Structure 1
Amino acid sequence: MTSYEQILSPYTLPNGAALKNRLLMAPMTTCSGYFDGTVSQELVEYYRARAGSVGAIIVECCFIDPLGPAFPGAIGIDNDKKVAGLAKIANAIKAEGSKAILQIYHGGRMVDPLLIGGRTPVAPSALAAPREGAATPSMLSNDEVSALIAQFGDAVRRAIQAGFDGVEIHGANTYLIQQFFSPNSNQRKDEWGGSRENRARFPLAVLDITHRMARQYADDAFIIGYRFSPEELEVPGIRFDDTLFLLEKLAACGLDYLHFSIGTSLRASIINTSDPTPLIKKYVERRSQTLAQIPIMGVGGVVNMTDVQCGLDNGYDLMAVGRACIAYPDWTARIARGETLELFIDSTQQEALKIPEPLWRFSLVEAMIRDLSMTAAKFKPGVFVEKVQDDAHELTISVSLETDRLTDIELSAGPLDDVEFTSSFSEIRSRILNANTPHVDAISGATSQSEAVKKAVVKAMAKSSKARREEEGNDADAAKSYDVVVIGSGGAGLAAAIQAHDDGASVLIVEKMPTLGGNTLKASAGMNAAETRFQRARGIEDSKELFYQESLKGGHNKNNPQLLRRFVMNAPLAIEWLADRGIMLNDITTTGGMSIDRTHRPRDGSAVGGYLISGLVRNVTRRGIDVMLETSVEEILRQDGEVCGVRLLTDEQDELTIEAKNVIVATGGFSANSEMVVKYRPDLAGFVTTNHKGATGGGIALLERIGAGTVDMGEIQIHPTVEQSNSYLISESIRGGGAILVNQQGARFFNEMETRDKVSAAIIALEEKYAWIVFDEQVRAKNKAADEYIARGLVTSASSPRALAEKVGFESDVFLATLERYNDFVGRQCDEDFGRTTALRSPVNAGPFYAIQIAPGVHHTMGGVTINARTEVLDRANQPLTGAWAAGEVVGGIHGGNRIGGNAVADIIIFGILAGHHAAERANRLAISPTRRAG
C-alpha cells in the first residue's frame, strides 16, 4: 500500500466506527459564539465548508458549566437550550460526509473573571495560574467536584442529542481536567489530590460518566476521545512518566483515540531539552499492549501530505490538521490530488472561505492573511391521563404534551411509597423525556413497569394527535395513506422500515404487542457473515462460498439455493448497514455448524437481540417513522390483484383502514403457537418454547388468505440449551466461548459444537432427557449474557470443580476426569472423543465454575411463506403477489431443514433491508406514474 493509500483509506476505530480516512480537522478556537455561548449561523457555515473530504471534524471546545469559558466567544453545552444550535453544526458536518466530534471542557483557573460576569473562577485548589494578572480561584468542595463530573455527563448527553458522532474530552492545555492531574495546580489533601493515583481520579471519573451516558443515550458507534498535554514546565508539574501512568489508566477504561496536544507533532521534551527524540517515539516505545490498542493522533505543523506521512512514520495513527483547514476548507481533497500548499490566506477571500469575523481577527489566522435554520407541531397541548397495568399494579399516569414534545410524565396512582418502584419510574421517565419518545430501552430489573409507562405515553400521544386533527377540522378517522406498511417490529420489520424510509417512502409500523422488538429481543448468539472488515481486522480468513456450503450442509441441503445465495452475498453488506446506523457488531465468536469465527456480536459480548433492537429503535425514532402498538392486522386489502392497504383493530377496539401501496409482513414464526407446532410436528407436543408469546404465525395466516404459498412447514428446530423452568434460552455463544455439555454423571456425551438438531437429539437420547452446560470464569468474563443468567438465578456456581459436582449431583471422580481430559484436548487442539474442532478456546480450569441445567425447547420454525430473492411474496403458483413483501421467520426456504445459530439474525436484517428497499422502489415508481402497476 502506498503512503497516499494508507492515509486516504478508511480507518476503523476500536469501537468499530469507520473514518473515511486518517485525517481530522483539529479543534480550534474561533471565538465566534454569541455572548451566552450559543451558536451563530456563520459558525455553522464555517464547519459545513470544511466537511466532506476530511474523515472527521473535531469541533472547538465547548464549555460544560457557566463558570467554564476560557476565552471570549466560546460556545457552550451547559444547558439543554444549547442543543438546537449545536445540532446545526453536527448536521452540517455530517450532511457533507464527515464524522462530527465535539470537544468538551471546563477552563477552571484559566477562566478570566470578566468572561463570567465578575465571578470567581473555580479550580482544584485556590492557586492562581502562573501567568500575569491571573485571578486566584475558589477551591472546589467535594460536592462541587461531584457536581462537575455530573455536568460533564450532561454535556455528553447533550452532544448525543445534538447528533454528534462522538466527544473529545479536553484534558489538555492547562484546563480543569489537566489541573486536577497536575501536582502544580492540584494540592488538595483529600481523595481528589495528593498522590498521583488520587489526582488521576477526576479525569477517570469524567471518562466513566462519558461511557455511562454513551451506553444510555448513544449508539455503540459513538466515539470517545481524550486530548492530553504530555508535560508541564512548572515545578512541580506533569512529567512524561505521569502522563503515561494516566493514559494507561484511561486506556484500561476504554477509549477510541488519544490526541497529543503539542505545538508540533514531532516536538521533543520541553523538560529534558538535551534529548531531541520526539515524544511520540518515546510514547510508542514505552506504552503497554493495552495502550497500543488505542489509536494516537498527532497535531501541529501539518500542511502537506509529506507532513502527514512523517507523522505516521513516527508512530501516529491519525493526524489532525489545524490552520491548513482554515486556509483551505477542501484541504484533504487538495492533498489527495497531489497539490503542494502554502500556508496563507488571500485577504479578499474571507467570505468565500466562510471564516467568521472573530476568527479572521484571531492572531494565528491574522498572521496567515496576505493581500492578494423545529419539528412541525403534531400534538394538541394538554395533560392526558392513562391507566395501565404492569405485572403487579394498576398505574395511573399523567402525560403532559406541548405541540411538538413531551413535557412531563407523572405517576398519579400506584405504589407511591415503594422506593424501588418510584426510583425506576423516575429513571424511565427521564429516559423518555430526554429522548422525547416512548421508544427507549426499559430499565434493567423493571421491564414490566417500564413497558407500562411507555404504553401510557404511546396512548396519550395517540389521543393528543387525534384531538389535534379533529381541532383542525380533519376527519380523525379518515383513512391514512402510506407508501409502505410494515407488519411486525422485530429486527426484520424495523430494518425494513428504516430502509424504506431512507429510500424516500412514507412508512407505518404496526405491532400487535405492547412494545417493539418481537422475538428478536430473545436472540442471544450473534449475526453470521463472511468476509467482513471486522473479521479482516482480527486476521480471520473466511469466504462467502464456505459460509454458503456450511449453511447448506447445516440445513440438510433443503435450503432454497437462490435465497441462500442472496443471504450469504448480502451478509457483510448488512453488517456495514448496521454499522452505518451506529449498531456495531464487532466482536466475533462461533456457533455450532460453523468452522470459522463469523458470528458477529456486540463488543462487550452481550446478547445480540436487545442490543440490536435498541439500535434499530433509535434509528426509527430519529426518522420519525410512525408506529402503532397493540394493533392487530385483520386483513391485507387488495384491489385489481395488487395490495392497496390493511384493515386494523386497535387495543381500543377501533377499526381503521390504512391505504398502502406496499405491505411488508415481518411477523416472525409460530413457535409460540403450540397447536400449530403440533399440527406439523406431533412429536413436539409438550416441549417448551424459547419464543415470546407473540410468535403465533399470524402473518403466515394473513398472507395465506390472499393466496400466498408456503414451504417447509414441518421443519421446526428445537434448541438444545433451554433452561426449562422459565423457557430461557442459554446462548450458543456460551458453548462457542468454550463451555462443555455433560450428563448427570458429569461426563461429556457429544460434540457441543455440532448443529442444533444433532445436539438436541443427543440430549433427548440421555436417560435423564436433560444435560448441564458447564463453564468457568474465563467463559463468563467474555460473555456478558452469562451475567444475566446468574442474575436470574439459573446458574449453580462453586469455587472448585469438586464443589460444583457436589452441588449439582455429578459423580465427582467422573466430572474431574472429564475436565482433565477435555483440558488436555484444548491444549492439543484435538478432541479425540467427539471430534470437536471449533471453540476449543481455553481449558475449563479458572474458578469460579458454573453449571446450568438445560434441555431442548422449540426455538425456530424454518417453514413459512414463499418469497423470491427480491422478497416478493409468491402465490401457490410461484407468481408474485404484487405489493406484498415478507422478511424474517415468517418466510420459509432459507434455512432448509435446520437453522445454523447466528443465521436467523443475519436473515432478518438482510431480507428486512431488501424488502424495505424494493417496497420503497415500487412506491416511488407508482408516485412517478400512478397508473402504472408494477411489482
Structure 2
Amino acid sequence: MSRNLFDAVQLNSGATFKNRLFMSPMTTQSAFYDGEVTQQIIDYYKFRSGDAAAVIVESCFVEDKGRGFPGAVGVDTDKKIAGLSELATAIKEEGSQAIMQIYHAGRMAWPELNGGAVPISASPVAALRPGAPVPREMTVEQIEEMIKLFGDATRRAIAAGFDGVEIHGANTFLLQQFFSPHSNRRHDQWGGSRENRARFCLEVMKEVQRVITEEKAENFVVGYRFSPEELEEPGIRFEDTMYLLNQLATLKPDYFHFSMGVYTRPSIVESDDPEPLITKYLALRSPDLAEIPIMGVGAILQREDAEAALQLGYDLLAVGKGFLVEPNWVQTIKDNKPVPEYAHIAKQKELLIPTPLWDFMDSMVMVKDPEEEKRKYERLKELQKMKLEYKPGTYTVAAKGHNSEIEMKVIFTKERIESIEIDSGGESEGLSDQVFERLPQQIIDGQTLNVDVISGASASSQGVIDGIAEAVELAGASSEVLLARPKPTIVWSKEVVEEEADVVVVGSGAAGISAALRADELGLKTIMLEKMSFVGGAISISGGNQVVMGSKLQAEAGVTDDSVELMVEDFLENGSGKNVPELLNLLAKNVGEATDWVHEYMGVKYDMEGGLHVLAEYRKNRELAYEDGGHGFAASARKALDSSNVTIYLQTKAEELSVDENGKIIGITAKEETGKTHKISTKAVILTTGGYGNNPNLLSKELKKILFYGTKSSTGDGLLMATAPGIDAATRLMDYGKIYPNGVEVSKGYAKSTIGGNIAVLKENALLVNIDGERVVNERASNKQVLEKLLEQNPQMLYILMDQEHFELFSEAVAEGGITNEDLERWISNNGMGTPKAFRADSLLDLAARAGMPGSSLEDTVARYNGFVENGVDEDFGRQPEFMKKPVGEGPYYLIEQKPRFATTMGGLVANDQLNVINKSGEPIQGLYAAGEVVGGVMGTDSPSGANNAWALTSGKLAAESIKKND
C-alpha cells in the first residue's frame, strides 16, 4: 500500500498525527540563564507551526545540572510550567501538536555550562572529546532519582499543555551513555550485560508512561529518539540498538526516532556495507516493533527527498534545515515549490531565528560529516594501538608556564618514561605546586599525556604537558600517540566523613582567607573548603591593588585628610548611585582597621616605596599595591594560614547547605575530587565563593557580550547554593559587571588585560583612537569615562597607538598580564586576520591603511596631538599636562585593539551590615554569612580601582566577627 506525505497516522496512545511531517528538534540556545522560555523562543516556534503534524521542541533538561549546551530550555522545576505553557499554546494555536523532548546530558554536561558541577554518568569514563572531564559514577540512589526526574518532567509537560514528550536517548546523552559499553562499565544491575545496560532506558520509559496514566493524560504521545551506532570501542553497534528498540517496543510507545545526519545513512562502523540502516531496521524488527511508526531525519529538504524517504520505509519524517530556511516548509512542498538551499544572510530577523542558532547555521556545521567523524575516530584508534620505543637517556626541555619558562629533565628507558624532574622556581608558589607533584606522576603511571590540567593552574599544567611532549619527540617517539592514549578510569571513593566545626568558610580567595584567619584568631574551630588546587583565588593572579583609606599606611604615605564621607561620595559617583548605603558605609568605616590587621596580623606587605596611586576615581589618594602584587599577597596569606589552626580542604567542592526545621543553616556537604564526601555540622557558614562571570547561565544579555578575563572558577557556586529551594536567598544587581576598556580578545569570548602596558605608556604619550583613526577621549580619564566612549563605538573597540619606544615599554609591562613578546609578534603578523587585531608599519599612513582607516586621518590625529604636547594644553579632551610628557615619536608605529573586558561581577547575594545573608522574604538566614564578591550591591554598577580587594578583606574579617558576636 502506497503512503502519502499527507496521510493521517494513528498512534498507540489514541492520538492521531494529521500528516507524516514534523519539525525536528533543533537547539536554539536562547533560553534565559535558568532555562526559562524566552519570547524569542516562543516567536521562533510559533512562526514555524501550523501545517506540520507536530513541532518537537528542542531538548529540555530534566535536572538543573544536566545541560548539554548553553541557553538550554529547562523542565526541571514547576515554576517553568508557566513559560512552557505559553510555548505549547503558541504552537497548538497555529495547528500543530506540541511535543517536548526531555533529556539529561550526563557526561556531556560540561562544568562550565552547569555552574561548575562535575558531570555524572553511568561510569567515570570521559567522552572521546578534547578536554572532556571525567564524570562521576552515579550511585544506585542517583539512578533511581534520575528516573523519577524524567517522570517529573513529563508531569510538567502535561501541566503545560504539551501533546507529548520525546525521550532523548541519542546524541551521546545520559540514556545512550547507560546503554553504551563505552560509557557504562558498571557491574551491578545497571551495567555489564546488554540486558542490564538497557535497563535504565526501559525504566525511564516505564516511569514516563506511569506518570501519564497517573495524570489521566488521554492521547498523550510518547516517542523515543536513538542514535543507531557509536564509533567508540567498545561502543553501540546496530544489533545492540535493535535489541534495545525491540525491548522498548513491548511497552508500546507511539514512535521511534532515528538520530542521523542523513536519512539514507549506512553503517558508520561497517564501512564496507552500503546498505541503509533503515532497511536493516525493517528486516530486524520484531512484530511488536513493526507496529510502531519509525521517524527518519536528515537531508530531507525538497518534496522529492521526503517522498524518497517514505519509499525507503520511514513512517514519519522530521525536518530541520527545511523549517529554518522556509518556515512554511510543509505548504511549500505541498504546492510543489522548491525550498531554498540556504537562508539569505540578511534574513535572520525576517526568519525569526535566534542569534545563537543563526551563528550555528552560519558556521556550516548543521550536519556533521559522518565520514570525517569516522576518519577522526579511525585515526584515534590507530594511534591508541601503536607501541612506542624511545632512545634511552635524559632530555632537558623548557616550556612556557604561567609566569616563566619551566625547565624539565625527562628520563626514558627503551620502553617508557621513567622519571620527570621539574624546576618550578619561576612559577607562582602555591598556585602551581600540585601541577609539579601530581601531573608527572599521572603521566608516568599511565604512560600517557592525556591527563587533565590542574584546576586553576592550566598554564603551568599545559606547560608541563607540552614540555614532556617535546622530550618524547627528542627521544625519537611520537607525542601524538601519548596524547591519544585514553585517560585512566577513575575509581571514585564512596567514603563519607562526618565532621564538626564552628565555622565553615567556602572559598579561599581574599575574603575567604580573611574570614578564616579572623575566625581562627577569635578561637573558632574553622574549616575552609576550596574547589581549586590552590589557596588564593582571583587575588593571587591579580595586579594586587587595594584601597587603604583610614589605615596607618595611608597616613604614613602622606594622606591624613581622607574621610569616610569622601570615600562614600566617590564610590557612589563611580557606582551610578546604585550602591547599597549600609554596605558601602560598612566598608568605608572599617577598611582602615582591616588594612592594618592584614598588614600586622596576616603579615602582608604593601609597596610603600611605590606610594599611593594617583587615580581619577578618587579625590584623595587611597590605593596601595601589595609588594610583588597579588602573588605577594597570596604568598603571605598562605604563610599565615600555615601558622593557623584552620583546616583546609583543597579540590573539595561545597555542594549543598543543610538546614533545620526553622531554616537555620546547620551544616554543609562537600565532595573531594576523588569522590570522598565531607558532611560537616557547623554553627555558621561564610560564603566567599567569588563572582559568576564564567557562568553564562547567570549573566545578563549585555554582560554576555563582554569579554571575560577572570578565573575559570568564577561560576557562582555560592549564589547557586544559597538560592537553592529551601534556602531561598535573595539577590540583587545581577546585571552588572566591572568592565574595563583595555582587553585583547585572545580566544572567542575571552580576553587578556593590557592595563599594565596602558598605564606605562599613557603616562607619557600613546593615544586611544577609534577605527577612523580619531581620538575620542582623554586617555588619562577614569576607566569608567574611557569605557563609556569605547562602548559608543561601532564596533565596540578602540586602538592604542604607540611609537617604537613606547611599544617596547608596553611589551615589558603587559607580561604581568600573561601577554608575551611572542604573543604580540604573532598577533601583529596576522595583520588583522582573526583576533586580537594588531598592526605595525613604518609610517602612520601605512599603519592606517593596514587597519582600514581612512586616508591620512592617523597622521592628522598625531600631528594635532603633538601640537598640544608642544603647547602644554590638550584643547580637544583636556588630557593632563603631566601625562603629555613626550610627543608621539619615531616609528615603526603600532595599533593594538582595546575591547571591553570584565572579570568581577557586581551583583550577588543580599546581605545586611552584619554580613548575614537575607532570604527572599527579607529575613536573615540564621547561620549563613557572605563576604567578598558573592555579596551584591556595595559597588553599585561599577567598582573603582582597588575596591574589590578592600571589600573582600574587610567583609571577610567582619563576617567572622559577626559570627563570634552571635556565638
Q: What is the TM-score of this pair, normalised by structure 1? A: 0.46
Q: What is the TM-score of this pair, normalised by structure 2? A: 0.44
